[in-house]
Amino acid sequence: MTAPEIAALFAAALLAGAMNAVAGGGTVLTFPALLLYGIPAIQANATSTLALLIGITGSVFGYRNQIRTVAPLATRFGIVSIIGGLLGALLLTCTREKTFATLVPFLLLFATILFLANNAFRRLVRIEPLAKSSDLLHSRGIALAYVFQFFVALYGGYFGAGIGILMLASLGILGMHDIHEMNALKTVLGALVNLVAAIYFIFAGLIVWPEAAVMTVGATVGYFAASHYAQRIPQNAVRIIAAAIGLGISALLLWRQFR
């Protein structure tokens, strides 16, 4: 690896880690960066998944207080996340990436709109905001939440760009309103999805290790810094940043698809 390549991959992973800690979508930086330096698409996707997985430990530490609060939810949703993530990883090696990736921009745009309008949507379907996060386990929408999380995890194991936005939208609609707790839960569930996918990719021999090592360091720094400082920002500001990331990723992917 050349010095410019190391610097570029480190920078892309650092920004990706920061994006994932706040909302999601970091894969749209790490995946193209690896393609730029000649890594085949499937190997680039696998390498990006592993780098962001190891890096996410920084975000888990940054959200450690909120994770204690959402631990019951993480345990229950973790099961469907693991199953969906593994199936998504299997799907990646069995189908053409382009077929599924065509839907990605529209899925992210829809999720971002739901995230922005989740208060209005909750009123429309008469779902009251939860007094505390753990009340989600006893809400009437819990079955729908499990189903949605399974498909988010399936998509995450396959490609992963924007699963954070999808989860934030789902949790907001179902009544969660503390953005920091939502981010903590999203972080844990995203880590589980990436974990099972990365394990499969390692055994399938799809990881490009030198690039993975560089990006892991960058992602860890980005995750930790963003998760730590995001909690000092007012919740409405974090929501605006998350929505801006979602809209920006959607626009970028639509441009790449239809240019």
Residue 130 pLDDT grade (very low, low, confident, very high; cuts 50, 70, 90): low
Q: 47-61, 124-138, 216-230, 242-256: which range is least confident on average? A: 124-138
Tokens of 17: 């880690």
pLDDT at 5: 94
Q: How confident is the model over 143-197, as pLDDT tens digits?
A: 888 888 899 899 888 877 667 777 877 787 777 778 788 888 888 898 899 899 9
| Overall number of domains in the chain | 1
Please give the Cα distance from 122 to 126 (Å, whole number): 6
Tokens of 25: 């979508």
Please give the Cα distance from 101 to 105 (Å, whole number): 8
Residue 127 pLDDT grade (very low, low, confident, very high; cuts 50, 70, 90): low
- Read off the pTM: 0.76
Tokens of 231: 């909690």
DSSP code for 135: G
Q: How confident is the model over 222-244, as pLDDT tens digits?
A: 888 887 776 677 767 766 776 77
Burial of 16 (0-12, 13-18, 19+ CB in 10 A): buried
On the question of pLDDT at 117 being above 70, the answer is: no
Is the Cβ–Cβ distance between 211 and 39 less than 8 Å? yes
Q: 48-57, 59-68, 134-143, 180-189: which range is least confident on average? A: 134-143
Calculate what percentage of the chain has a pLDDT beyond 90.
21
**Average pLDDT value for the chain:** 80
Q: How confident is the model over 1-40, as pLDDT tens digits?
A: 899 999 999 998 998 888 877 766 678 788 888 888 888 8
Domain range for 164 is: 3-258
